[in-house]
């Protein structure tokens, strides 16, 4: 019924976006399979207790009451349910998982965020080596290159760096949190006031420059080398330098930045973090990192793990916008020409099959799609 209430152009846009999204999901799932990721699915409804250990960002949860009186939520995150599933089923580790599913978040009013987001993701559980980070970064690099035309910048960080710096200043946890909040929220006047009491400490010059500690790796590492940082952060810096050197060698065209003045994507991260964004998009296309202690919320023993989530809806928006640069093709054919149509389709990445009953119907379909009609029954037309 809705299609009769919408203008033709709006219906065409919805249809084009839906086709693009399904295509992207198919490409992502095929890529996951090629990388050896086992598909995993978790329930849409989860016990609220699964998410209790973490504040899930600047949004609220959708809550429901179960028949037994427990509070259920529509999952706002995929990593935590995957961790619960692994612990509850005693899956032998290590394992590589891939998923595509919807998450639900009550976003702040007028924030511009959607309450339902389709997310694809990777969970590499039981792997302590940096190879797990390398695998996630490789998948992110390859998929972003394959799915959208715009260059994507990968931003690296570390979940423990900021906490260890402020812990070297004071043992007062309230003061530590106040400094971190002002730093992460870029409340520079408040941050400047909070660090003023440490003016006599050797770390003060670094603290003054810290809110601007983001940019190209070579500049950031040069600035860090001149700072009198505590020994506790040296493992984080060495790890960052190793990852940057590996990326520059294995994916030399990839744009890389380092940000040590921002909060990790989620509170459960324990090591390297990474995010990817395009200049054309508002928000991160993907984000992830290492979370070696996450499973301890569901079992006694910790397990090393690295994960990554991709925002399929944002990728769809960028891919749909970029489709205006080329004309989609619509292939019309008779049933006995199916093999011929499939062969043509395999060679044309932006073509789709017309399932119209006759050529007149295919012409109408092509007009609605603003596509070039390829008539295999009698030659090529440019309707």
Known binding positions for L-histidine: 77-79, 105, 119, 123, 268-269
The total number of residues written for the chain in this structure: 383
Q: Which residue carries 């029954």 as its tokens?
A: 377
Give the list of residues 6+ apart from residue 311 with CB closer than 8 angstroms, or none: 117, 119, 283, 284, 285, 286
Q: How is residue 205 written in tokens?
A: 């010059």
Nearest to 305 by CA among 85, 137, 83: 83
Provide the annotated binding site: 77-79, 105, 119, 123, 268-269
Cα(271)–Cα(82) distance, rounded to whole angstroms?
19
For residues 57-66, b (16+ Cβ closer than 10 Å) or e, as one string? eebebbeeee
Dist CA 359 CA 246 (whole Å): 54
Q: State the DSSP H helix or E strand holding residue 278, giving kind and residue range, or none if neither.
A: strand 272-278
CA atoms within 13 A on the CB side of 244: 22
Task: State how far the alpha carbon of 132 is from the alpha carbons of 7, 55, 153, 274, 288, in Å.
Answer: 48, 26, 20, 13, 12
Cα separation, 328 vs 348, whole angstroms: 9
Residue pair 59/103 in contact by the 8 Å Cβ criterion: no
Asked if 124 and 94 count as a contact pair (C-beta separation under 8 A), the reply is yes
Comparing C-alpha atoms, which of 374, 170, 169, 131 is closest to residue 272?
131
């Amino acid at each position: 019924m809705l299609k009769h209430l919408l203008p033709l152009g709006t219906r065409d846009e919805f249809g084009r976006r839906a086709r693009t999204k399904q295509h992207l999901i198919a490409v992502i799932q095929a890529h996951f399979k090629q990388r050896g990721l086992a598909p995993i699915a978790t329930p849409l409804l989860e016990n609220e207790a699964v998410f209790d250990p973490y504040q899930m960002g600047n949004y609220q949860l959708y809550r429901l009451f179960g028949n037994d009186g427990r509070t259920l939520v529509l999952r706002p995150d995929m990593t935590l349910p995957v961790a619960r599933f692994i612990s509850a089923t005693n899956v032998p580790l290590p394992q590589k998982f891939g998923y595509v599913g919807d998450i639900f978040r009550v976003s702040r009013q007028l924030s511009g965020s959607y309450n339902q987001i389709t997310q694809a993701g990777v969970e590499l559980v039981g792997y302590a080596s940096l190879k797990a980070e390398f695998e996630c970064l490789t998948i992110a690099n390859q998929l972003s290159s394959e799915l959208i035309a715009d260059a994507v910048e990968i931003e690296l960080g570390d979940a423990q760096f900021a906490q260890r710096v402020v812990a070297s200043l004071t043992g007062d946890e309230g003061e530590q949190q106040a400094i971190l909040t002002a730093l992460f929220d870029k409340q520079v006047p408040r941050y400047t006031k909070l660090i003023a009491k440490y003016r006599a400490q050797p770390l003060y010059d670094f603290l003054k420059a810290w809110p601007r500690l983001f940019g190209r790796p070579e500049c950031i590492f040069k600035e860090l080398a001149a700072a009198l940082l505590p020994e506790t952060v040296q493992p984080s810096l060495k790890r960052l330098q190793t990852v940057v050197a590996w990326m520059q060698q294995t994916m030399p065209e990839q744009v890389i930045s380092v940000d040590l003045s921002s909060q990790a994507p989620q509170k459960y991260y324990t090591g390297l973090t990474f995010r990817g964004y395009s200049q054309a998009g508002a928000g991160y296309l993907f984000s992830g990192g290492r979370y070696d202690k996450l499973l301890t919320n569901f079992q006694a023993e910790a397990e090393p793990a690295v994960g990554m989530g991709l925002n399929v809806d944002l990728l769809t928006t960028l891919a749909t916008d970029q489709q205006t640069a080329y004309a989609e093709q619509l292939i019309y054919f008779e049933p006995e020409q199916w093999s011929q149509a499939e062969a043509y389709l395999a060679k044309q990445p932006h073509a789709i099959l017309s399932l119209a009953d006759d050529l007149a119907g295919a012409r109408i379909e092509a007009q609605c799609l603003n596509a070039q009609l390829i008539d295999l029954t009698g030659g090529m037309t440019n309707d």
